[in-house]
Amino acid sequence: MSAQKLLVLGTGGTIAGSAATATGQSYAAGEISLDAMIADIRGLGLTVELVPKPIARIGSQDIGWEQWDALHGEIIAAQADPDIAGVIITHGTDTAEETAFLLDLTLDPGKPVVMVGAMRPADAVGSDGMRNLANAIRVASDPKAQDRGVMVVMGDTVFAASDVRKAATSNIDAFKGYPRGPIARVTPSSLDWFAPAHRVGSTARFQWPEALPRVAILTAGAGIDAMPVKALLGIGCKGIVIAGMGQGNAPRVVLDALAEAVRDGVPVVRSSRVDEGMVDRNVEVDDDAYVFVAARALGPAKSRILLMLLIASGVTDAKAVQAAFDGD
Ligand code: GLU
């Protein structure tokens, strides 16, 4: 029997990072080529066949439409290719949450799509990249990984795209899941699934758009006034996500300015700048009166992705946007 084939899409990040010294702190993301990484992982004697395809060599803070469009196109082609069993994306950790969620919302489940990164560059002492990549290979080639949507593998842990977020700047176990925690534990020699697939829908929730609209995240802080809202509207923002205090709160003057934005056809989603927790409707802010949307379990970064896709699909009505945030 021939070896399983996995497509590996490289985008850069710390997993392809190179340090000035093995013990220093400074390094450059995306320095190491995908071919070099694949050569290293082949040296581990894994039985899968890896098909490398470089997309970019960037820190993921610079990722955007161009790379997302390329990734989406490659994955659609891989899903249609009977020779390819699954897809791995090597990616910086800073925006892994955003790319994973965007792809999860726009791809059919089916073949596994596994995103993987690293917290330490490839040549730093105690580097986690090769282990994470070996773990990602194990997940992407497992039959039980089918139909779970996009997953993120970091620190011997597997998360669903809808839950995952980066929760620490430099620890090896930097990723957390909310509202659901890890769905599996993985090592290069073991894989234990302990949560069923919980992806919404059996097909892609959104068509791949032709472009993504400008949607901004505005972080609320004590004492801010309405000027940032007016500035965002002035540069043509098509949607605003507020990373509010607590349950998605903001000073009254800010809420009033956001209500004006809604009246001008700009949907407003209230999420929280707090790490975890639900933002529900009409708790302290009267969403019904303001015609705001509550982000529910989604944090600001994921809220922005979902709102961009909704607006790109022509959905701006607050009730319809709320239904999407409710997971319907
Ligand atoms: N900022 C870079 C990125 O997100 C490096 C961080 C990382 O990959 O861990 O690509």
Domain contains 208:
no
Domain contains 103:
yes
Q: Indicate if the pLDDT at residue 290 is higher than 90.
A: yes
For residues 27 and 155, state if they share a domain: yes
Query: Contact at 8 Å (CB) between 88 and 114?
Result: yes
Amino acid 200: pLDDT: 73
| Angle between the N-to-C axes of helices 252-263 and 227-234, in degrees from 0 to 180, rounded to the nearest 10 | 20
For residues 241 and 167, state if they share a domain: no
Average of per-residue pLDDT across 264-289: 97
Name the residue range of residue 287's domain: 215-325
pLDDT: which is higher, 231 or 110: 231
For residues 179 and 221, state if they share a domain: no
In the chain, the amino acid numbered 115 is: M
Domain contains 162:
yes
Domain contains 121:
yes
For residues 88 and 173, state if they share a domain: yes
pLDDT: which is higher, 278 or 328: 278
For residues 145 and 288, state if they share a domain: no
Confidence at 197, pLDDT banded by 50, 70, 90: confident
Confidence at 158, pLDDT banded by 50, 70, 90: very high
pLDDT: which is higher, 14 or 286: 286
Q: What is the mean pLDDT of the chain?
A: 94
For residues 223 and 173, state if they share a domain: no
Rg, C-alpha atoms of the chain = 20
Looking at 58-62, 126-130, 210-214, 306-310, which range is the least confident one? 126-130
Q: Is the dihedral of CA 97, 101, 102, 107 positive or negative?
A: positive
Return the structure tokens found at 306: 């979902």
Strands, sheet with 215-219, edge to edge from the N-terminal-most edge strand: 215-219, 239-244, 268-272, 293-294
pLDDT digits (tens, 9 = 90+) for 83-137: 999 999 999 999 999 999 999 999 999 999 999 999 998 888 999 999 999 999 9
CATH of the domain at 125: 3.40.50.1170
Please name the residue whose Cα sits nearest to atom 1 of ligand 1.
59
For residues 59 and 158, state if they share a domain: yes
In the chain, the amino acid numbered 258 is: L
- Distance from C-alpha of 38 to C-alpha of 19, rounded to nearest angstrom: 19
Among 91, 93, 119, 172, which is best to mutate for testing ligand 1, by the most ligand atoms less than 8 A from CB? 93
For residues 183 and 35, state if they share a domain: yes
Amino acid 321: pLDDT: 98
For residues 245 and 169, state if they share a domain: no
Among 60, 98, 166, 172, which is best to mutate for testing ligand 1, by the most ligand atoms less than 8 A from CB? 60
Residue from 11, 14, 90, 106 carrying the catalytic annotation: 14
Domain-ending residue, one of 162, 193, 224: 193
Confidence at 1, pLDDT banded by 50, 70, 90: low
Q: How many CB atoms lie within 10 A of CB 51?
A: 17
Domain-ending residue, one of 146, 162, 193: 193
For residues 178 and 237, state if they share a domain: no
Catalytic residue status for 14: yes
Looking at the 3D structure of the chain, how many domains does it have?
2
- Distance from C-alpha of 305 to C-alpha of 49, rounded to nearest angstrom: 33
Amino acid 122: pLDDT: 85
Domain contains 201:
no
- Please, which residues have CB within 8 angstroms of residue 8's CB and are 6 or more apart in sequence? 34, 38, 50, 51, 52, 53, 87, 88, 89, 90
State in Å: Cα 58 to ligand 1 middle.
9
Please give the C-alpha separations between residue 321 and each of 25, 185, 230, 309, in angstroms, as whole numbers.
43, 34, 22, 10
CATH of the domain at 304: 3.40.50.40
For residues 106 and 241, state if they share a domain: no
Please name the residue whose Cα sits nearest to atom 2 of ligand 1.
59
Confidence at 27, pLDDT banded by 50, 70, 90: confident
For residues 225 and 136, state if they share a domain: no
Domain-ending residue, one of 163, 193, 223: 193
**Helix ranges (DSSP H) in the chain:** 34-42, 65-80, 96-106, 129-140, 227-234, 252-263, 287-290, 300-312, 318-325
Average of per-residue pLDDT across 266-282: 97
Domain contains 209:
no
The helix or strand, by DSSP H or E, that contains position 222, with its residue range, turns out to be none
